[in-house]
Amino acid sequence: MKSEESYWEQLAERYFQAETSEAEEQQLRRFLCSSQAQDSRFDEIRATMSLLYVCRKASPDSSRGVNKTSSPWERAGERLRIIAVAACLCVAMFLGWRQYQQHNISSVRIAGEDVEADASLLMQQQMAEMFNPIDQSNR
């Protein structure tokens, strides 16, 4: 049992030194997912291999299909597409905000004049006038 555990530790060490074959890497992954590797000694190896796997999958080269031999024009085109999408999102957010602001403005007629104001402010003013008694002594 001890020699088998040392075998897996040595294989993990070789893996981190990039000296393993694809088949050995698959064996190591399979072992780390098994019930035999639930010992705390293998936690760090399992965590590090998981991190490497996620980083490899998240790298721009593997996720977008852009290889290192792409031309500068292709890379510039990719950047321009990203910038165009970001600009479209900014314009859409601005238009939505503008529409929200216009929707929130009310127009009322006071003393024969049209007054535009924020609906919430008009409502607060109206509520204050309704519930505050009018001082009759000033009239």
User: What are the pLDDT digits (tens) for 32-62?
Assistant: 888 888 878 888 888 888 888 888 777 766 5
| DSSP code for 13 | H
63 in Cβ contact with 57 (< 8 Å):
yes
Structure tokens at 62: 């593997």
Q: Cα separation of 41 and 47, whole Å?
A: 11
First to last CA, the chain: 101
Model pTM score: 0.40
User: What are the pLDDT digits (tens) for 66-91?
Assistant: 455 678 888 888 889 899 989 988 88
